[in-house]
Amino acid sequence: MFPYKTSIQFDRKSNQSLYLQLSNQIIQFIKNQTLAPNTKLPGSRTLAEQLKVHRKTIVACYEELLLQGWVESVPKKGTFVLRNLPVLHHQKLGDPVVLDFKKSTSFSFYKNSILPENLAEKKEGLMYLNDGISDARLTPIDEIARTYRRVCAKKRCSNICLTVLPMAILRYEKF
């Protein structure tokens, strides 16, 4: 049986929570083949007693490992290291395999003639990151409309009119 009590160390002064420290250490044991595939992990109560932590810490750790795909939970049997773990290969960022991105996606984007296309020149060898376009469904249209109505009600702003388009794009028109 694996010596969890002596192999796992916690840094209680660290900003990282205990369950994440435990999860990371178990992941390292799995990567190093210290914990072989299909190995049964101890129950949450047993491991909590051995490591002198709360049982909820162990439960949170097991849930984290389950979500990341390192373990599988079989009801009424226990938690096991996944049988078929993927083989991880490290690639350097400069490898041509990594930089060879697909030129198109497997789905289509909605295009609108109102929105201008950003046709910036892209230089070879640079990676471009942007935030994209925000989801119009998340825009607080009612609050924005209320604010503009309040502003338009004032005398000095009477020449501004607010038009709300079907896609919730706001634009100003002067009379």
Walk me through the domains of the chain, giving residue ranges and CATH numbers: 4-81 (1.10.10.10), 136-174 (no CATH)
Residue from 83, 13, 91, 2 nearest 42 by CA: 2
What is the predicted pLDDT for the residue at 149?
Answer: 83
Query: In angstroms, rounded to a whole number, what is the distance separating the alpha carbons of residues 162 and 170?
Result: 7
- CA neighbor of 18 nearest in space, from 8, 28, 27: 8
| Mean pLDDT split into 10-residue runs, the chain, 175 residues | 88 92 94 90 94 95 92 93 75 55 60 66 73 73 85 64 43 47
- Locate 151 and state its tokens: 């502003």
Cα angle 125-95-90, degrees, rounded to a multiple of 5: 135
Write out the two tokens for 112. 């609108």
Q: Where are the alpha helices (DSSP H) in the chain?
A: 4-7, 18-31, 44-51, 55-68, 96-99, 141-152
| Residue environment code for 141-170, b if the CB has 16+ CB neighbours within 10 A, otherwise e | eeeeeeebeeeeeeeeeeeeeeeeeeeeee
- Please indicate, yes or no, whether the overall pTM of this predicted structure exceeds 0.75: no
